[in-house]
Amino acid sequence: MDFQRARNDEQRSQRRQHILKVTAEMLTEMPVAKLSLNELSRRVGLAKANVQRYFESREAILLQLLDAELKEWLDELEVQLEPVEGTVRERGDRLAKVLAETLAQRPVLCDLISAQAAVLERNVSPEVSRRHKYATLSTFQSLAQLARRCLPELGAEDALRLTGFIALVATAAWPYIEPSQAVVAQYPDDPVVTAMHVDFADVVRQSLEVSITGLLTRHEDVPLGMAPLAAMPAHRTPHE
């Protein structure tokens, strides 16, 4: 790519997309925690200060990449989550299975989700955070609609709550997929420690099965704020 100064909106957009593309490639080689703005700048071929002309911080880049990864996952689920025959339990379990397995196949997305609240939202401006929250909410509202396609018994609010549970389970489970060397060293000789190894897809599937069952069978109202992304007003859109 020619890295002369971008002189119009189209060139600036191309530059931003290239930065995001290189970031995504780097995350196939290293976790979010090890990705530095200095190394990213080197691979993009720009000075660090010039990268920051397009994104205010490393975290701002990663948040936009998270938005893009969520949309790609949603596109896949549009195909995977088709209505099927079966009992409520069977359809709920299938929904949990598809969500867990497709999520597990996207390690970059899982790593970004797990870092979202604790890391990525800590070094960005209010405006970047706001745009990210609205983009994520929009994606999760669409995900909730897809969930109801398979399981209309959930209802609109409970389907949105489910999307919050997905994010929470992924955040909690993902750090366990790569145990420390001290833990791994015990696997050959200690079956108890080995049995505690976490299979990400299995943990997410089981957790979502229980969550779906609970949402379907509960009788009392639960505040909508239980879903981390559901508390924002759905009818508003951010100003450009």
The mean of the pLDDT values for the chain is 85
pLDDT for residue 196: 63
Domain extent listing, the chain: 8-55, 59-226
Confidence of residue 10 (pLDDT cuts 50, 70, 90): confident
d(CA 132, CA 192): 42
Residues sharing a CB contact under 8 Å with residue 52, sequence separation 6 or more, in sequence order: 37
pTM, full prediction: 0.81
* C-beta of residue 36 within 8 angstroms of C-beta of residue 57: no
How is domain 8-55 classified at the CATH fold level?
A: Arc Repressor Mutant, subunit A (1.10.10)
Exposed, middle or buried: residue 37 (CB in 10 Å: 0-12, 13-18, 19+)?
middle
More confident residue, 190 or 54: 54
Exposed, middle or buried: residue 97 (CB in 10 Å: 0-12, 13-18, 19+)?
middle
User: For residue range 68-90, what is the model confidence (pLDDT) as tens digits?
Assistant: 999 999 999 999 998 889 999 99
Candidate CATH numbers 3.40.50.300, 3.30.1330.40, 1.10.357.10, 3.40.718.10; the one for domain 59-226:
1.10.357.10
pLDDT for residue 238: 45
pLDDT for residue 93: 96
Q: Does residue 233 carry a pLDDT above 80?
A: no
User: For residue range 139-184, what is the model confidence (pLDDT) as tens digits?
Assistant: 999 999 999 999 999 999 999 999 999 999 999 999 887 755 666 5
d(CA 142, CA 148): 10
Fill in the amino acid letter for 55: F
- Sign, Cα dihedral of 6, 33, 164, 179: positive
Confidence of residue 4 (pLDDT cuts 50, 70, 90): low
